[in-house]
Structures are given as C-alpha cells and as structure tokens.
Amino acid sequence: MAFTVTILGNSSAKPTPKAHPSAQVVNLNEQYYLVDAGEGVQQQLIRRGINPLRLRAVFISHLHGDHCFGLFPLIATLGLEGKRTPLDIYAPAPMGDILEYHKKYFWDDLPYEVIWHEVKTTEHCIVFENNTLEVWSVPLRHSMPTAGYHFKEKEPKLNVDKFKIAKYNLSISQIVAAKRGEDIELSSGEVIPNSELTYIPFKPRSYAYLSDTNYSAKAAERVKGVDLLYHETTYAQSEEMWAKGRGHSTTFDAAKVALRAEAKRLIIGHFSSRYKDHTILRDECRTIFENTDIAIEGDTFTI
C-alpha cells in the first residue's frame, strides 16, 4: 500500500525563478492530503500530475504567507472544477476568520463546503483520524503559533495464518475470534494462543512534517521512531544566531532533531534564497545525521 510524500515547494519566504514556497502532498493508500499551501500550489499540483480534486484535507502549519497564500485560489479553482464534497482545512486560528472573509468577497457561490478545524498549536493531540490514519499536531517554536504534523498509519488488523486454519480445522467463527485477538479453544479442549495463529500483515509507517521552528527536543521526542522526517533547514550552521532570532533552524538543528527522534531518514527544505547550492546544507546535516537528503521539488519519497 502506497505511503508517499511529494514535494511541491521547498523555498522559504518567497517564490524564486526555480523554487516555490512550502507545500507537499502526502498519499496514503490513494488518499491525498495537502500539507501547507505556499503561493502557486495549484500549478505545482498539476505539474506533478496530482488532480486537486483528489485532496481529502489540507493541513496548514501556520499563517505566514509562504505556507498558506496558495490555499485561497486553490479553493476557488476546486469550485470551478466541479468539487461538491466538503474540504476539511486544519489550521491555527484565525484561519476561520480569513476563510470567512474570502467567502464573503470571492466565494459567495462556492458549490461545496469549506470546513475549518482549529489546530491548537500548544497541544500534542490527534487532529484528524480515519480507518487507516491518525494525524497528530506537534507544537513548534516559531515567531508565531505553529504546529507540525505527524502522519501515523494505524496498526493493521490481525491476519490468520492460512496454514494454521488448515492445521487446526478452524471454523469461520473461530477465525473471526482469532482476528479479534482471542485465544482459540479446540473441540479437544486444547487452547491455541492467538500469537500462534495470527500475524500483523505489515508494520505501521509514519511521516513527520516539522516546518518553521527553532530546535525543539520536545518535538523530536513526540515523533520518536518516525520513518521519514521533514525538517525545515532555512540556514547553514554559520547563520545560527540569525536562525534563532527568526524562529528557524540550521542544518545542525535539523540533524540533531532527526538523531534525537531516531528517525530512519531526514529530508530538509524551506531553504533561504541565499543558498543556490543546497548540497552544502545537506552535507552539513550529514556530519551529524548521515541519512539526509534534499526535499527537491517534484521528488516523491516512499515510506
């Protein structure tokens, strides 16, 4: 089952001739979720072959323009494209007021409902859930209220080993009970432990998106064991004081978070436009956390 992240934008503050502001698409089992929506996001979706009508929800980390200016024209375009089902938007306040303003002046005839869910940026909690996925908010340390997002695949239901079904001649009711995690008593009186009969078909996977933030050990702990970690890396380590003053991270900050989180892989983005060669930033990260790559626009990372 697919669990991927496609990078739509990796620039900080503003678009450049070669880069777009923050935006990504998470795809879990063909359910698509937009994470941040910098300027030009709908063009980026089209370029990457992702139909905007397939988006199930949008997650906005904070209300700086380079993370949300692309949301409002996208909402209008979805109406033109024939969207009729609601679009859920998870974002800090006052996003609700901003959406109402746009509705009043630009979306008075929008053919679908836009539903805002407030994300409390000081709380680590589930903000979205369905049958296969949980999305947790992760408080971050930026110059305004900001939350990262932790996408966690749910534990799959137990499967019953078909060879054990034949070996013990299990009935349908016994198979159903085993899937519930129960031990099975045979007609002979023998009790077969559930662990002998069942197995977990796959290990749940996870992805964490930690956008604009100073170094945060708490954020690292809250995404412990994550398979793929995205961490903003606006500056090289030589700009440490500048990063701290602006609520951003350096290469070493991102790498130390990945190390503390015991992440399997780190991807870095949100680069300052002063850096023309992002491999310099990647190589600095690798001195602390070796399995680091650049979140290149258009690339898709498989978890």
Percent pLDDT > 70 in the chain is 100
- What would the CATH number be for the domain defined by 3-156+202-302? 3.60.15.10
33 φ, ψ (degrees, to nearest 5): -130, 130
Please give the average per-residue pLDDT across 254-269, as a whole number.
Answer: 98
Q: What is the pLDDT of residues 130-143, one digit of tens each?
A: 999 999 999 999 99
pLDDT the model gives residue 18: 84
Condensed to tens digits (0 to 9), the pLDDT of residues 171-212 reads 888 877 778 887 787 888 788 888 877 888 889 999 999 999
The model's pTM is 0.91
For residue 61, give both structure tokens. Answer: 């980390």
Residues in the chain: 303
- How far apart CA 218 and CA 265 sit, in angstroms, is 19
Side-by-side strand order, sheet with 133-139: 126-129, 133-139, 147-153, 206-210, 228-232, 265-269, 292-294
Look at residue 119 and tell me whether its pLDDT is greater than 90. Answer: yes
Q: Which residues pair with 25 in a beta bridge?
A: 6, 34
Parts of the chain belonging to CATH 3.60.15.10: 3-156+202-302
- Residues 6 or more apart whose CB falls under 8 angstroms from that of 132 comprise 28, 29, 31, 153, 154
- Characterize the bridge pairing of strands 3-9 and 23-28: antiparallel
Instruction: Give catalytic residues, as residue numbers.
Output: 66
Q: Are 126 and 134 in contact (CB under 8 A)?
A: yes
